[in-house]
Structure 1
Amino acid sequence: MELFLECDLEYDEDTPFGKDVDADHAYLMDAVDKVGGNLDKQLISKAFYFCVEMHKGKYRKSGYPYYTHPLNTTLLLMNELQLHDSNSLAACLLHDTIEDVEIVSTEMITKEFDADISEMVDGVTKISHSEIIKPEIYTEDKVQQNLIEDNLAGPSKPRVSKAETYRKLFMALVRDARVIMIKLADRLHNMRTLHYLSPKKQVEIAQETLNFYIPIAHRLGLLKVKMELENRSFYYSNRENYEAIRTALNEKRREFIDYIRVFSDLIQNSLNAQNLKHVLSIVHKHEYEIHKMTQNGKSISDIDNFYSVVIILQSNDVHECYRALGVLANAFNTISFVDYISKPKLDWYKSLNTELIGPDGKRIEILIRTKEMDTIAEEGFAANFSLKTGRVRALQFTDSDIDEWGEWMKDMIEEFGDNASQIIWDSLKVNLFDSELTVYSKEGRQISLPKGSTLVDYAFVLSDEYGLHCVTGKVNGSFHDLNYKLNSGDQVEIIKSDNAVPKFEWQKSVVSHRAVAMLHKYFKLNPPKTFLKKKADGNYDTKLIIRGEDRELMLLDITEAIGKSNIKRINLDTADSLFDGALSVMVENVEELNNIMVRLLTVKGVSDVRRVYEEEEK
């Protein structure tokens, strides 16, 4: 039986690197040999020495030569993220050269290496340029001063807008997943050495990691990377809470460990009696997982399933998983069961997950997998693809999907500036990271959609023609409005007409990337009739509808969000703690109106704001 414990966050970079370049090179080559396969040692060696030469005279905050960071990152990429591709490893060694070395360009890397490596380095560079927190690099003259100076240095400055950061991360993820794998390895090493930075920067980088990189690691199924990034981010962003949860967990673990071992022995005996060869592991929830559970209203004392028992069958026969489940169901009382083998998760995760009642009536989660499934559960995306063809996509997006969604993001940034960050992130989150629902066509075809999808979203999955010309839809045989939200298991049918055109308000309810992008594109090319009437003083009078949950000072907050000089009239009706209102505002242009609407949507309790068009008033 194997017992997995949490990662040690009291990490100190006692690196063997930085004293002897040739010794560091020999270490890297030995690591490449251990991986085996067809890795190109000559290419990786060339990239290493290029990296050393280009970063010569530069140091990390830790005082180590800067080249030790790309070296450590490459070893992480190869050994922990399991990316065994010569071009990727070379690009990882070079990943900071364009960013930080004035004489290095994409053209130089293409000439010295090749276009594939150059494109990867350029992709990582674009993400790095867009990060809120820029890692610091020091010259030899400054390093000693910086090692002893006050840690509470001034705040770092944003390089570009947060909205642009999200767009570039999306582009990197969907165009070539190797780029984001390199960036995840880079972030993992930076998090392991975060203690060298000031407390303020520790918090900023930890929050950035929680917002950007952990959802991506989750989407790629990189379980170990995700867990470590979560715990380290939690530790640096809220150390007091982290320590409190860790102390409570240690007490709970001491309380549970003997019990879980007894239960595990019972499980093993049941499986052995049926000649089901297996390896059994015990996995416990880590600190950040518990933190999220307490955020949802649970106290630590209410949590009784600290441990999961992972049964890894020593066969890749899927039927063995179901046989093992049957054995356990006969031996213990079963509470719940989820089949992720027949319906895998978004991150390729496959397993039979069940909860059993063990001795003393305690609940235990059981995860049943084959060896292959366990590899995927641990390594995620890296276990699933072949790199023989070079560039690899982690997600199933067509070139058209990528171009249209990316163009929508650019338009959002142009229209709303940094206020677009939440709009873009919400769209990325729904389409890339949140759970899916599964519906069925009239013919029985299975179709996956983001949670919250409407009939219009479904229509765009069928084709752009259906999306742009749908008039109504049937769900389980009954007609529904096109804004109707679908549920898993629904049978769906779309009725279209060549004469039908999209309605502007559909943009408020669709969530799928294709529907969002294509409706935006349609109304950009075919704008609705003007809804603003110019007054004699040069201003425009327009009406807004606002809805939400009523509370004390709501009217005052709405007034401040609009601005007293813009308000012409406000009417709010309240009933059962909800309000429904009509606003008349004066603005100079559409941009000013859009900014007012964004501010209104940030008011606590406001759930919906929309414009009223001339045709709606008639």
Structure 2
Amino acid sequence: MYDEEDSFGISLNNDFEFFRNLLEKYNPEANFKFLKKAFAICAFYHKNDYRKSGKKYYTHPLWVAIILIKEFQIYDEIYLAAAFLHDTIEDTANKRDRLVKEAISEKMGNDYLGVIVDALTKISHERLIIENEGFRNQLIQRYTNEKVDELLKNKQIQKCFTHRKLFQTFVKDQNIIVIKLADRLHNMRTLHYKELGDEYKYRDRMREYAEETLEFYVRFANRLGFSSIAGELQNLSFYFSSNKEVYSQIRELIESKEKFILDRIGIFEKDIREAFADSEFKGISTTIFHRKEYEIYSLTNQFQNPDALPDFVHCIVSIPVSDYKDLRKATSKIIQQFGHSNISNYQEGKQILGEFEFNTIQIKLKKNSGDSLDVTIMSTNDSDILDNITEVPIKEKRLKKKVSGISDEHLELWSDWMEYVILEKGEKAIKDIWNSLDKNLFDDKIVCFSIDKQEIQLPQGATVLDFAFAISKDIGLSFSKARISEQVFDFDYKLYGNETIQILTSKIQQPIPEWQYFISDYRALGYFYNYLKSKNLLNNDFANELLTQNHIQHISAENKLSMNLEKGFFAKLMIKGNDRKHLLNDITNAIGDSEIRKSTIQRSDLSSEFEGIFEVNFRNLVTFNKVVLKLLDVRNVKSTELIDIWSKNIS
């Protein structure tokens, strides 16, 4: 575990000088007078605050700034100053010397600094009222003032809106999330101090904090290219969120497997060196890495079968060549050394690790003793990637993905949609919001064209309905059909790119709630949500649940099933679980003879999660009940939820 055994907290001057000396190595022209002022304000407003470690609180913002420099390569004084001040608004909210966004901007002579610090500040009850007047007005239309106040005081609602604010700000400035990552990294490294003296008091809070890190911050770290940081956050979070017995088992497994490989790796290294002894290839290196605790836990289906993970430990051979032909020639040297009969699983081509893509050749080496080792042969030119995946800190490699220009109007509409899913799902909305950000900001896009040659960029998996809303709000809301290459398609048709599309509209056409399952583009989400709000068609299930303390579902299954459905009916099922090979096939087999009319599948590369919506034609209630039981027996399926049902005579 990480210990705060540094000398920080004794002398403010010495602490700032340490920071100054570090930054000067990377940005000697930085405005140190500006930074020293921010540091002084930080120390003043935290002068009576202490960490659980016993350290003065200002040492935490100091460490966040240092982490930004050393591990995230952030050298701009505006963000480093924001790191110093990131907790001042929140921690002074109930103090006499209260600090607000405007005061920070005024004291520091920089308007944007106040905006950044404000974006990093958690949403409280008071701030939720002040900053989200539209949200409060929306609640007042549905609830009494007393119940609205109860909702605004709810910690889950406040946390969701804190994330919403970060999402919204991130679209304009990714470095704000990077500050939040540095803050979370230092807090996770020192979270074990909460165990000292009063473990039981903080156990639930620590677990919640760790789970939030897994669900929220690990994903963004990966998306921004900080895979080493993501790995550390993931493993620290797993330690605090998991059963300690399971964690210990995994640690023992890692150590035993690693020792097994290390005891024998010398044999393979010797043969590899001999393979290149008389060749033109010099400077060859080998590196071993193994999967970390949380990844092993996930890939082995919650540690039920750890031996099912074949590439638990892996060897990388780095060869100083740039041409792919040379990479093949070098691999042939290894094959000749070990013998063709001792080589298996030969694969070559593009490989992906996190956000990085590069050329590799993969083989499995075997010895007569029965020992084997999975090997990846790659170019030394990709050493920055090699460093990253073998857990050497990132040096100067950072994934930079430009956020496409999103207008203030569209950003506000997109943010309104975030409010909608928060009210509908509570904390579960965070996953939906992240998925939306991934699709619209990070993932590769497809390009389609209107009949007047307008080029439209859309997320992967977008539908013709997304395309219609991307052209304009009015065309989207009046969508009837889409014509592509003389064929006419309905709203759920998935686009693949490079299509020319004509949207057919109708003045009498009305949007239907089902559209929400077939849109992903931020413009479509914003416009469609706005329409639902104008027609008072929004669902506030999570808000209702908080107020009534009952688990009110979007669809009341008992009421729905009280309909006369003996002649058959249609049901929409949401199936969630941990993705694995053949999972979709097993789900389809479980549904069996019942006809699947439509299906929408979501998979997350980063979290190995599976979510599918299946519209199924059932013969009767008996068949329905049997299918649900079969689905719950499918390995890795966690839940099967009925989200809609209707009889065939109204379909």
Q: 1:221 maps to what in 2?
A: 225
Between 224-233 and 11-20, the greater mean CA deviation after superposition: 11-20
Match of 1:104 among 87, 99, 108: 99
Q: 1:283 maps to what in 2?
A: 289
Q: 2:579 maps to what in 1?
A: none
Give the alignment's TM-score, normalised by structure 1: 0.70
Q: Contact conserved, 1:283 with 1:309, CA < 8 A, in 2?
A: yes
Q: Distance in 1 between matches of 2:471 and 2:283?
A: 45
Q: 1:295 maps to what in 2?
A: 301
Q: Contact conserved, 1:130 with 1:162, CA < 8 A, in 2?
A: no
Q: 1:145 maps to what in 2?
A: none
Matched, 1:32 2:1: no
Q: Contact conserved, 1:270 with 1:331, CA < 8 A, in 2?
A: yes
Q: Contact conserved, 2:436 with 2:520, CA < 8 A, in 1?
A: yes
Residue pairs, 1:76-155, within 5 angstroms: 76-101=67-92, 102-113=97-108, 114-126=110-122
Matched, 1:432 2:438: yes
Greater length-normalized contact order (CA 8 Å, ≥ 6 residues apart)? 1
Structure 1 residue ranges without an equivalent (≥5): 1-9, 132-155, 386-392, 531-556, 584-602
Q: 1:291 to 1:566 in 2, by over 3 A?
A: closer
Matched position secondary structure for 2:565: strand
Between 420-429 and 114-123, the greater mean CA deviation after superposition: 420-429
Matched, 1:190 2:173: no
Give the alignment's TM-score, normalised by structure 2: 0.67
Q: Contact conserved, 1:334 with 1:356, CA < 8 A, in 2?
A: yes
Partner amino acid, structure 2, of 1:58: D
Match of 2:207 among 159, 184, 203: 203
Matched, 1:509 2:518: yes
Match of 1:328 among 331, 347, 350: 331
Q: 1:20 maps to what in 2?
A: 11
Q: 1:76 to 1:351 in 2, by over 3 A?
A: same
Q: 1:588 maps to what in 2?
A: none
Q: 1:597 maps to what in 2?
A: none
Q: Distance in 2 between matches of 1:509 and 1:524?
A: 18
Q: Contact conserved, 1:472 with 1:495, CA < 8 A, in 2?
A: yes
Matched position secondary structure for 1:350: strand
Partner amino acid, structure 2, of 1:46: K
Matched position secondary structure for 1:11: coil
Q: CA deviation at 1:189?
A: 0.8
Q: 1:163 to 1:438 in 2, by over 3 A?
A: same
Matched position secondary structure for 1:496: strand
Matched, 1:181 2:183: no
Partner amino acid, structure 1, of 2:121: T
Q: CA deviation at 1:50?
A: 2.0
Q: Distance in 2 between matches of 1:558 and 1:48?
A: 48
Q: CA deviation at 1:167?
A: 1.5
Deviations 1:183-214 (A, max 9, x none): 11111111111112232222121111112211
Q: Distance in 1 between matches of 2:35 and 2:284?
A: 39
Match of 2:363 among 335, 356, 369: 356
Q: 2:546 maps to what in 1?
A: none
Residue pairs, 1:324-403, within 5 angstroms: 324=327, 327-328=330-331, 331-332=334-335, 335-339=346-350, 348-360=355-367, 362-366=373-377, 368=379, 370-371=382-383, 379=394, 383-384=398-399, 395-396=403-404, 398-399=406-407, 400-403=409-412
Partner amino acid, structure 2, of 1:49: A
Q: 2:245 maps to what in 1?
A: 240
Deviations 1:277-329 (A, max 9, x none): 666533221111111101278722222312344566779xxx54674356437
Matched position secondary structure for 2:72: coil
Partner amino acid, structure 2, of 1:166: H
Q: CA deviation at 1:245?
A: 0.6
Deviations 1:69-121 (A, max 9, x none): 11111111111122111111111011111111243222222122212222211
Matched position secondary structure for 1:58: coil
Deviations 1:318-374 (A, max 9, x none): x5467435643775555444526xxx88x7523235432223454334555535656
Q: 1:32 to 1:459 in 2, by over 3 A?
A: same
Matched position secondary structure for 2:25: helix
Q: 1:562 maps to what in 2?
A: 556
Q: Distance in 2 between matches of 1:290 and 1:169?
A: 31
Matched position secondary structure for 2:357: coil
Q: 1:140 maps to what in 2?
A: none
Structure 2 residue ranges without an equivalent (≥5): 128-152, 195-201, 336-343, 539-550, 570-590, 595-615, 621-637
Q: CA deviation at 1:130?
A: 11
Q: 1:606 maps to what in 2?
A: 641
Q: Distance in 1 between matches of 2:388 and 2:456?
A: 23
Matched position secondary structure for 2:89: helix
Aligned residues: 518
CA RMSD between the two structures: 4.6
Q: Distance in 1 between matches of 2:468 and 2:85?
A: 44
Q: 1:305 to 1:163 in 2, by over 3 A?
A: same
Q: CA deviation at 1:458?
A: 5.0
Deviations 1:466-499 (A, max 9, x none): 7564723549x97654413456xx7644232355
Q: CA deviation at 1:32?
A: 1.9
Q: Contact conserved, 2:300 with 2:309, CA < 8 A, in 1?
A: no
Residue pairs, 1:450-599, within 5 angstroms: 450=459, 452-457=461-466, 469=479, 471-474=481-484, 480-485=489-494, 492-497=499-504, 499=506, 503-504=511-512, 505-524=514-533, 562=556, 569=563, 571=565, 573=568, 576=592
Between 61-70 and 560-569, the greater mean CA deviation after superposition: 560-569
Q: Contact conserved, 1:470 with 1:495, CA < 8 A, in 2?
A: no
Q: 1:515 to 1:353 in 2, by over 3 A?
A: farther
Instruction: Report sequence identity in percent.
Output: 26
Q: CA deviation at 1:606?
A: 2.9
Q: CA deviation at 1:46?
A: 2.1
Deviations 1:485-528 (A, max 9, x none): 456xx764423235575742322222333332233334555789
Deviations 1:159-197 (A, max 9, x none): 744432431231132221121111111111111111122
Q: 1:407 maps to what in 2?
A: 416
Q: Distance in 2 between matches of 1:384 and 1:330?
A: 34
Q: 1:63 maps to what in 2?
A: 54
